[in-house]
Amino acid sequence: MELKVYIIPLIRFWWLLIVAAVIAAVSSFFFARQLPEIYQTRTTLVVGTTVYETNPGGQDIWLSQQLAGFYSDLARRDMVRQETMSALGLNWLPDYAVRPLPNSQLMEITVTDTNPLRAQAVANELANQLILQTPGGLTQEDAEQHQFILQQLDQLRERILETDEEIAGLREQLLDQVSAREIADTQQEIQLLETRLNTLQTNYASLLASSGQEARNTLTIIESARLPTNPINQNRSMVVLLSTGIAVLIAVAGAYVLNYLDDTLKGKEEIAKFLNLPVLGQFFEVPDGANNGVYVDKQPRSPFAEAFRSLRINLEYMNVDKPLKSILVTSANVDEGKSTVASNLAVSLAQGGKKVILVDADLRKPSIHRKFDIHNGKGLSDMIAGGADIREIITRWNSNLFIIPAGHLPATTTDLLGSPRMAYLLERMKHIADVVIIDSPAFVVPDAAILAPKVDGVIFLVRSGFTRKASANAAMEQLRQISSRMLGVVINRISKSQMVYGGYYSSYQYSPYSEEKGDVSGNGHGTVFNKLSNKWNIIPFASNNKQVTDNDVEETTEVETK
């Protein structure tokens, strides 16, 4: 599958991407401006004293990590929350998170708040309340007792050091003494000091054990919460970019969904593959205000006229041995432009030197007479009913183009179009002219199915982005069932946006006349004369519309006789 299959939906719905991006960017910008500044701070604690030991044991490390998880869960309990609020005089707490750091004995308390001072105070107080929940946690009375024990430990330490120094001094004196009595006295004094030293050391060990300094189940703050100065949400541009990116992604998904749900025929390749027909021509939208029925005649140098000349060439070389004498132009639905295509194709064939008869066989909603500004008093319906002769009905529009309007609207069109009289008139017109172009109704009514087997070939019209696949497929199935000869498909009313993604050939890009001032289909800057002519019809088409003269009838009779 080609890459453009994925790109086409994005190009088709480019407006959806832009609208989504603009709405998301603007709304997120104003939303981010209204957000208060948010500050974040954290306190770090360590469990136990194993980390400070020279040779910590694996069991102690594992126990400290388990305790870190326990205290992290405990910090989120109501007991700790209530104590923290009571200590700070608050009736609520800002958002905070407590987590043990992976593979360590550390745990971290993170507080997020709009007030930086409150965030710092809450983080530190949560740590203090956790410490109070440990076995080593001290109340005020316990703290005073603990302080007393620490003072006693300091005093015992000093006395131990002093006694040790005295023993060392006496031992040095013992080396210089020669008298037996002095030696005995010194040794006795050393023994007394050693006894005192043992007593001091025993007391020191007892106090040290009761102080809790060697406990494993304790919490210690190693990094207090700092006062945050920079808000964590100050980068509002990132919020705008992120929201815009998410909106664009959602719009992209929506574009693919809309493209999937859209069952209309789009693109030259898709239409040719779906209908299994060659594409004979591609026509773009006619500028507003132009008479689209005779646009080829009014703007012969326009890309629109060049596209019809390409269609004329395709039809001429389609069957060289047996030229096409009658061509039916039809479509699956109404409002797809078949009358416009039929009219301009007839004008283009006439410009190529062929004698052409354009027949308005749409007896339900005729429009050919309005496009050529001719009278519709009598027409095809009157000829089939037997109340009028072809010489009374046919209108000569120029030297090569003759027009038969629809005439009076009958009660039942299918009976008239399916009658032998219609087949006879069609054969008679094929003898008169080189080509007969028939504008038939769409396949929503049975008239087109009646006319299709009577002609040499059928051109099926598709309006890009408008004709639905189901209706086009139903029309094609009906045409195949009645054994109609399908010449090909014509794509009509291609917009400029569809040129980008539809794979259409744009003759405008290669037209040497697209930059001329008189070309209304180009940049829209035509001459004043052309503008007035297109807008108010200063030069009416009726000047070329005249009834067939006697000489024309004689020429026609001569052709029929031959």
Same domain, 277 and 383: yes
The closest of 34, 29, 38 to 247, measured between CA atoms, is 29
For helices 4-12 and 236-261, the axis angle rounded to 10 degrees is 110
Same domain, 177 and 279: no
Same domain, 165 and 280: no
pLDDT tens, N- to C-terminus, the chain (562 residues): 466 667 877 887 888 999 999 999 999 888 877 778 889 999 999 887 766 666 666 677 788 788 888 888 888 899 899 999 999 999 999 999 999 988 888 999 999 999 999 999 999 999 999 888 876 554 555 556 656 767 777 888 888 888 888 888 888 887 777 788 888 888 888 888 888 888 888 877 776 665 555 555 678 888 999 999 888 876 778 888 889 999 999 999 988 888 777 778 877 888 888 888 888 888 877 765 556 778 888 888 888 888 888 888 888 887 666 778 999 999 988 888 888 899 999 999 999 899 999 999 988 888 898 888 888 888 888 888 876 788 888 889 888 999 999 888 887 888 888 888 888 889 989 998 999 999 988 888 888 889 998 999 999 999 888 888 888 888 888 888 888 888 999 988 876 555 544 555 444 444 444 433 334 333 333 433 343 333 333 333 333 333 344 344 344 434 333 3
Which residues are CB-contacts of 512 (< 8 A; sequence separation ≥ 6)? none
DSSP-assigned states of every residue in 221-277: EEEPPP---S-TT--HHHHHHHHHHHHHHHHHHHHHHHHHH--B--SHHHHHHHHT-
In angstroms, what CA-CA distances link 253 with 68, 79, 259, 460? 45, 49, 10, 34
Residue 262 in domain: no
- Residue with tokens 């990590």, as numbered in its chain: 65
* Segment holding 360, helix H or strand E: strand 356-360
CB 116 within 8 A of CB 123: no
Same domain, 365 and 509: yes
Residue 531 in domain: yes
In angstroms, what CA-CA distances link 159 with 79, 290, 523? 45, 116, 107
- Residue with tokens 């040095």, as numbered in its chain: 172
Long-range pairs for 160-163: beta carbons < 8 A, 24 or more residues apart: 160/197, 160/200, 160/201, 160/204, 163/193, 163/196, 163/197, 163/200
Give the integer Cα–Cα distance in Å for 436 and 417: 16
Which residues are CB-contacts of 539 (< 8 A; sequence separation ≥ 6)? 533
Residue 18 in domain: no
Residue ending a domain, among 196, 212, 228, is: 212
Give the CATH number of the domain where residue 281 resides.
Answer: 3.40.50.300
DSSP 468: B
Same domain, 428 and 502: yes
The closest of 275, 255, 257 to 265, measured between CA atoms, is 275
Give the integer Cα–Cα distance in Å for 438 and 326: 7
Which residues are CB-contacts of 414 (< 8 A; sequence separation ≥ 6)? 446, 447, 450
Which residues are CB-contacts of 445 (< 8 A; sequence separation ≥ 6)? 364, 413
Which residues on neighbouring strands pair with residue 112, listed in sequence order? 40, 95
Give the integer Cα–Cα distance in Å for 78 and 72: 13
Same domain, 298 and 187: no
Same domain, 206 and 301: no
Task: Quote the longest CA-to-CA distance of the chain.
Answer: 174
Residue ending a domain, among 212, 227, 256, is: 212
Q: What is the pLDDT of residue 225?
A: 92
Same domain, 192 and 298: no
Residue 506 in domain: yes
Sheet holding 546-547, edge to edge: 279-284, 486-494, 457-463, 326-331, 435-439, 356-360, 401-404, 395-396, 546-547
Same domain, 276 and 151: no
Give the integer Cα–Cα distance in Å for 39 and 225: 12
- Which tokens belong to 146? 């603990």
Residues in the chain: 562
CB 44 within 8 A of CB 110: no
CB 207 within 8 A of CB 153: yes
The closest of 364, 386, 385, 360 to 375, measured between CA atoms, is 360
CB-facing half-sphere around the CA of 456: CA atoms within 13 A: 16
- Residue with tokens 């905070």, as numbered in its chain: 96
Same domain, 190 and 281: no
Give the integer Cα–Cα distance in Å for 48 and 243: 45
Give the integer Cα–Cα distance in Å for 105 and 5: 56
For helices 420-432 and 550-561, the axis angle rounded to 10 degrees is 100
Residue 45 in domain: no
The type of residue at 121 is A
CB 502 within 8 A of CB 268: yes
Residue ending a domain, among 212, 238, 254, is: 212
Q: What is the pLDDT of residue 376?
A: 84
Give the integer Cα–Cα distance in Å for 31 and 98: 30
Q: Which domain holds residue 153?
A: 140-212
CB 505 within 8 A of CB 269: no
Residue 220 in domain: no
Which residues are CB-contacts of 200 (< 8 A; sequence separation ≥ 6)? 156, 159, 160, 163
- Please give the tally of structural domains in the chain: 2
Same domain, 485 and 339: yes
> Can you give the three-state secondary structure of 498-523, one letter per residue?
HHHHCCCCCHHHCCCCCCCCCCCCCC
- Which tokens belong to 64? 């400290």
Q: What is the pLDDT of residue 303?
A: 83
CB 288 within 8 A of CB 495: no
